[in-house]
Each structure stands twice: as structure tokens, then as C-alpha cells.
Amino acid sequence: MKSDAVKKGMQQAPHRSLFNALGFTKEEMDKPLVGIVSSYNEIVPGHMNLDKIVEAVKMGVAMAGGVPREFPAIAVCDGIAMGHEGMKYSLVTRDLIADSTECMALAHQFDALVMVPNCDKNVPGLLMAAARINVPTIFVSGGPMLAGHVKGQKRSLSSMFEAVGSYAAGTMSEEDVCEFENKVCPTCGSCSGMYTANSMNCLTEVLGMGLAGNGTIPAVYSDRLKLAKHAGMQVMELLKKNIRPRDIMTREAIMNALTVDMALGCSTNSMLHLPAIAHEVGFDFEIGFANDVSEKTPNLCHLAPAGPTYMEDLNEAGGVYAVMKELTKLNLLNLDCMTCTGKTVGENIAGAVNKNHEVIRPVEDPYSATGGLAVLKGNIAPDGSVVKQSAVAPEMLVHEGPARVFECEEDAIAAIKGGRIMAGDVVVIRYEGPKGGPGMREMLNPTSAIAGMGLGSSVALITDGRFSGASRGASIGHVSPEAAVGGPVALIEEGDIIQINIPEKTLNVAVSDEVLEQRRAAWEPKEPNVTTGYLSRYAQMVTSGARGAILQMPR
């Protein structure tokens, strides 16, 4: 056992004395040491129940003959961090989580790990750590929030942000906003639509790192506790069989995840996280893969914000396995990939059934013949940009309009809510990329303001920042190269005509190459927004959004 390095032999007598200080018995010293990585805290709604999940995991580990020991991982609530400087600290935690988990796991020589994340950056951060540490590992998330109910309709956090925009437009009263405020987030759990947290928890199932239901069983259901116990027991089976993360998270498994991403209509943030996870297993993931996969993968789900269904509905319809089973009709998945069940993907999903064809469309009757995401390229984004095409109004799939240019998110929000953005405009928000932000802030506030003010079918937004999974509309993010490194988005001027063609996968500004070169010659880098602390170090090390915003030492 790996933990023998701290438990066995005369040289380890000092180590054993410290285990004695922890109250370890001789019987425990002879058993595998299993680390339980808990993202529990009291500020993130998606994490406030993780103490119960962790206790259930510990029980499962102990029942199966292991010794569980808990240690923490940090977590940021993107909703609370949204729209102010706190959002600079969201994406950057992914790497802190991966690094700190690597440190704890290897410093203490755990034999196996159970990861207990839930929201946004915790899931990819811990998947990255699992790949690095490469001891038998399983995931069990905290589960999604139940949808809220407002005036007889199911609602979620994206509805709340859009309500603020409607209030600014004068189409919603303060009393109505207050009702939304008190009802859209009714329980603990990751917010109830197919936002980033739920996207990544579902993709963890597809990757083979979580048991069935990991992404969809609601946080408040007792089945979530049963799942946690089974995860604790199953990690001991993985240890016995020596099945490790790099045996599971192969190139083929990651491509399976990208395929199911397209069918589910996942958050655009998956196009940051899948490349980063792939990087940890030595697979060079190009975001351009998305278009090839999208061309042959139908979009089967329109979960909020793209449609009126929620995670609880997906769970009742058969969950992620039912979506995967639909895709096997078109031979779109590699069924031979090993998973944390000790069985292959094909064996896992053999009995899956699609129980609701309104929630999970059959492949014969998809929402669209192509997948949920698209990568656009052109003279604005030579290295690519990302759009959730399944959440774009049909009339905005091809759009041309004048650029309204803003150097930060706050200025754009003021203009939108101040009524200065008109139908047909293209809002350009730059210097919000991984380096320029720094931290690549999500733009849920401006996209929600656009939707709430009734401009969702007439105004587009492009940025070198990114979008919340709760964003909808013609919202094009991850524009690369970013403005801070002199990418073409830095050269756009007020009134330039922006040309968006999502079916053709293009994003251009109607300005000649000669004029762009003249502007480039006159362009001067902006002074860094942050010069001290973690954000400053992050800005120096982070790469392009097109590469998953992974960290590399500056050259």
C-alpha cells in the first residue's frame, strides 16, 4: 500500500506516533488510508450539505475496510461572486484546488481518494488533481438544487438575474423581483439548470469518474446519501483492482465527454475545463474538436437556461446514462472505456432507459441535428471563440451590427441598463480574459440584463472573458487571443461592423487587414489591473482561453 511509506517499518516509528496522536488503533494502521477531499463550506449553497455527503462517504469506506480521513478544498460561489471584483477569483481557484489537493494527498501518502465537490471550479480542479496524483479515486458531488416555483412556473438563478434586467427596463415591479428573490433558489445544491457545476458533474459521470446519478440526483434526496455510501465502498474496489484515474480518463473518455456535452447542451465553461483535464493526462485537446463532434452529435436536451426543464427533470427521465444510451444509436460513443464501477461504459449504460422524450429527445427527433456548442473563428478570434448555440435565438444565429466597445464589464452593464444599447448592436467587452481580467470573469450580469430588457433576440455580446452556464443568447466568449496580449479584439473600434455567423462558425469585423495592421501598430498594452498577490502571479502564468487557461511558467 502507498500508505506503508508512513506506517510500516522502524524508520516510520515517528510517523506512527503522530497517527497515535490522531487516535488511530493498531487495526486502523493495518488498513488502507483513504483521503476524503471535502469542498464543504458555509457560504456556497451548493456546498452547505457536503458535510452530510462526506459522513456518508466515510461510512461507505469504513464498511468496505478502509480508514477515511477528511481534508478540505476551497470553493467560490460564482453567483455571489458575480458582477464585481470577486469574479476575478473564480476560475483561478481551479488551479489552487488542484495544487492544494495534490499537496495534501502526496504529503500524507493516501492509498485512495474520494472527491466530494459540487460547484463550478471544484469539479474540474479535483479532476485535474486526480489525474496528477493517480491513486484509485472516485467522485461524488453534492447534487443539484431543486428548481424554484414562481407564479406557477419552474424557475432558477438565471431567471433571477434576468428579473433584475426586466426591472431596469420597467417591465417588472420591485414586488415581483422580491418574489423571484425569495423563491428561485429553494434548497441547497448546485443551481438547478444546466449551468457549469451541473455540466461538470454530469461530465464526471461520462468520464467514468462518478457513479450513475452523480450529476443529476437532487441534493436534498436521500438517494444522494446512498450514492455517497456506495462511492465510499466502491473506492475500495478500485483500490483492490488498482484502477486509477489515468486508466479511466483516457483520450477516448474525454472525447466521450465532449460528445455528451453536445447532446446535453452544457455550459461553455466545459470548453475551458475539458482541455485543462486533458492536459493533466497528456492529451492535447484542441477546442476546434468541438465543431467536428458537434457536426455529428444531435442536441437532445434543452435544460435551463436554454429551455423549461431542470436537473430534477433530467434525473427522472433517466439521467446521464439515458442520454448516453440515445447516442449509442448513432455509434457516437466509445463503449470500451473503463469506469469507476470497474465495468466499461457499454456495460454501465446497457440497461439505461429514456423515460421522458420531452426532457431527453430521441436521436430521431432532436432539438437540432448539431450539438450545443460551437467554436467560431475569424479575424476577431484567430484562435477561436465559444458560443452555446443551443441557447441562441434562431434569428441571432446570423447577425451583423455595429460594435459598442467597452473596456470592462462594469461599463457595459451601465450602458445596457442605462438604455444606451439598441436592437442590432454588438456589445464588445474586452480586457476581461485570463490575463487581462485577470481571471476571465463570467458575464452573466450583462447577458441577463440584455435578456431582461427584451434585447435577447436582437443584441449580441462578444468578449475575451467567459459566460456563466446560466447565460443565454448570442453570447460569444473565450475570444482568443485576448485583448491583453494584443489579440484583434483589442483593435475593434466603436461602430465597426461585427459579422457573426454561427452556422458557418465565423466571427469577423468588417475591417480590412491593412486597417487592422495600422491599428495594431498604434496599439499599446494596458497597465495590469492587479500587480500584487495571487491574481498577479496567475496573470503571469496563465495561458489562452483557447488552451483551457492552464498555467505554465512564463518564458
Q: Which residues form the catalytic set?
A: 468
Instruction: Using DSSP bridges, classify how beta strands 497-501 and 506-509 pair: parallel, antiparallel or unpaired.
Output: antiparallel
Provide the residue type at 509 as one letter: V
Please give the biggest Cα pair distance in the chain: 76
Distance CA 442, CA 267 (A): 12
Distance CA 114, CA 49 (A): 16
Q: Which residues pair with 477 in a beta bridge?
A: 386
Q: For residue 133, what is its C-alpha cell?
A: 496524483
Contact 373, 289 (CB under 8 A): no
Contact 232, 56 (CB under 8 A): yes
Phi/psi for 480 (5° steps) reads: -130, 140
Contact 275, 551 (CB under 8 A): no
DSSP 549: S
Instruction: Kindly write down the DSSP assignment for every residue of 131-197, as one continuous string.
Output: HHH-SSEEE----BPPPEEETTEEE-HHHHHHHHHHHHTTSS-HHHHHHHHHHSS-SSSB-SSS-HH
Distance CA 90, CA 101 (A): 17
Would you state the torsion angle of the CA atoms of residues 545, 550, 554, 555, taken in this order, to the nearest 10 degrees?
-80
Contact 147, 220 (CB under 8 A): no
Place of cell 461553455: 268
Distance CA 339, CA 209 (A): 6
Instruction: Kindly write down the DSSP assignment for every residue of 90-127, as one continuous string.
Output: TTTHHHHHHHHHHHHHHHTT-SEEEEE--STTHHHHHH
Q: For residue 10, what is its C-alpha cell?
A: 522502524
Runs of H (alpha helix) within 186-303: 196-207, 222-241, 245-248, 251-264, 270-280, 289-296
Q: For residue 2, what is its C-alpha cell?
A: 502507498
Angle made by CA atoms 542, 270, 362, in degrees to the nearest 5: 170
Rg (CA), the chain: 23
The total of other beta-carbon atoms located within 10 Å of residue 86's CB is 15
Distance CA 13, CA 17 (A): 6
